[in-house]
Amino acid sequence: MDIFFDRKSVRKYTNEEVKDEDLNYILRSAMSAPTAKNTRCYSFIVIKDKTTHAEIAKRHEAAQMILQAPLAILVVGDESLAYNSYFPQDCSAATENILLAAVAKGYGAVWCGVYSNEKRQKALEEFFKLPPNIRAFSLVIIGKSADDTPAKNGWDETKIKYERWQ
Ligand SMILES: Cc1cc2nc3c(=O)[nH]c(=O)nc-3n(C[C@H](O)[C@H](O)[C@H](O)COP(=O)(O)O)c2cc1C
């Protein structure tokens, strides 16, 4: 298993829970991501409650798989703390670490975009009662995968340039 090449967006899950020790590893991985000037301007809302999952599904049309998942993490960023308005990059790095850590621990996950979709952002920021400086950034849904399709092969030599564009 290779966490980079076996990662894929998983949208179907078994009934198995995410173990607390694995959740702890996943959150530690998120907090090991780089942030500009080391502001660590992210926070993570761990959501296991099924009623809350249903409320999220009403507010994010492309996150309906949350209704079958045991766990979601809402990654949020403090834009007042971020250096140079870099909070989206900081939160992206943390989000990707969560995806890869989930694979490392034998789970599947999907990144559901929140920032910069104004409608989703507003709905979730209101629901979670986020303070004015805190932006809802991404929703990561995690569970044991019930999807055995292979990960995509992203390798494409045409994406690589050497020294200059041409
Ligand atoms: C910023 C961002 C937003 C995304 N939003 C959603 C989403 O709302 N719902 C969803 O099912 N997948 C979402 N995805 C997952 C992409 O659809 C997926 O990564 C892409 O199709 C490539 O597939 P793969 O992850 O299996 O390689 C998002 C991914 C990114 C990076």
- CA–CA–CA angle 36, 82, 117 (5° rounding): 105
pLDDT tens for 105-147 read 999 999 999 999 999 999 999 999 999 999 999 999 999 999 9
Q: In this structure, which amino acid lies at residue 161?
A: K
Q: Which residues pair with 73 in a beta bridge?
A: 46, 140
Contact 113 CB / ligand 1 (< 6 Å): yes
Tell me whether the omega of the peptide bond preceding residue 80 falls within 30 degrees of 0, making it cis.
no
Contact 142 CB / ligand 1 (< 6 Å): no
pTM: 0.98
Q: 20-146 adopts what CATH topology? A: NADH Oxidase (3.40.109)
Beta carbons within 8 Å of 32's beta carbon, 6+ residues apart: 97
Contact 103 CB / ligand 1 (< 6 Å): no
pLDDT confidence bin for 166, thresholds 50/70/90: confident
Statement: residue 78 has pLDDT above 90: yes
Contact 40 CB / ligand 1 (< 6 Å): no
